[in-house]
Amino acid sequence: MNPRPLLPLAVVSGLFLLLYRVLDLSVAWPDLDVATPAGRARLIALTVSRIPAPLLADFLLIGTTVSLGHPGGLRLLGKAHLAGGLILLALTPVFLIDSGSLAPAVVAGEVSVFRMLVVRVLVLLLGLGIGGILTGRLLLSLTPQTASHKPVDPGPKS
């Protein structure tokens, strides 16, 4: 069986999953007070709990683009992953500072839950950041390079 006719379905599924998560966060965003550390912690908890769907969407889009060998898609996904990975790594110290300022407000019975949330988010930020950079480099390496010089014509074969 040729899987090629199913590739558009994978693209549509991946885009649907991403759109659904964006809409989900856009509905929750007005209720979050991101000006306070507690509001940002709620946003992070909301985002972390919804990570599997965007990851699945990403795998679907990458797999389809690689299978089709679409140079523009490979380049776009590669650059998006590099940028996303760098942003996630840059957010790591911001998250640590925020969680440090929120720590004194955590009640005694919730300290272990708070610590687990911080560890979980750190693992996600670092793992997804490094993974995004590596994936971006790999996708860009799969992109055919445009030649800056014309290939030499070997002439007619005898």
Residues 14/62, Cβ–Cβ less than 8 Å: no
Reported as type and span, the H/E element at residue 123 is: helix 111-142
**CA distance linking residue 141 with residue 31, whole number of Å:** 42
Residue 156 DSSP code? -
**CA distance linking residue 158 with residue 152, whole number of Å:** 17
Q: pLDDT value at position 24? A: 84
Q: pLDDT value at position 86? A: 97
Burial of 96 (0-12, 13-18, 19+ CB in 10 A): middle
Q: pLDDT value at position 122? A: 93
How many other CB atoms are there within 10 angstroms of residue 64's CB atom? 20
How many other CB atoms are there within 10 angstroms of residue 84's CB atom? 18
Q: pLDDT value at position 134? A: 96
> Which of these, 79, 86, 88, 98, lies nearest to 40 by C-alpha position?
98
Q: Does the reported pTM lie above 0.85?
A: no
**Cα dihedral 104, 109, 115, 117 sign:** negative
Stretches in the chain below the pLDDT threshold 70: 1, 145-158
- What is the amino acid identity at position 54? P
- What is the amino acid identity at position 153? D
